[in-house]
Amino acid sequence: DGGITQSPKYLFRKEGQNVTLSCEQNLNHDAMYWYRQDPGQGLRLIYYSQIVNDFQKGDIAEGYSVSREKKESFPLTVTSAQKNPTAFYLCASSIYPGTGFQETQYFGPGTRLLVL
């Protein structure tokens, strides 16, 4: 059963702490993405990766880091430099390259990060 998994569902961060959010997909998709969702705002792109060992900053990359060592995995680290990390974090993947429709992004269930 193909899909995208994210863990944990809820994550608590203490001041000055780095935390890592997991994202795994078994859809054989090349491209993966991390978004942040805040109330009243659209999804905002943090980082994206088109192929293994390569990734690019999105619109709000400051305070975040990623790695893409395997096609299936794209973990996101929220560092202590991110001053307002409380949000709903969504991971997505898509076929790349392809036609516009083929590049439909499919989302994981999300991780809600809360600051203690």
| Binding footprint of another protein on the chain (CB under 8 A) | 31, 35, 40-45, 48, 50, 56, 58, 88, 90, 94, 96, 100-101, 103-110, 112
Q: How far is the CB of 18 from another protein (least distance, A)?
A: 24
Q: How many helices (H) does the chain have, and how many strands (E)?
A: 0, 11
CA–CA dist 58, 35 (Å, integer): 9
> Which CB sits closer to another protein, 16 or 40?
40
Token pair of 72 as six digits? 């299936």
> Which CB sits closer to another protein, 3 or 28?
3
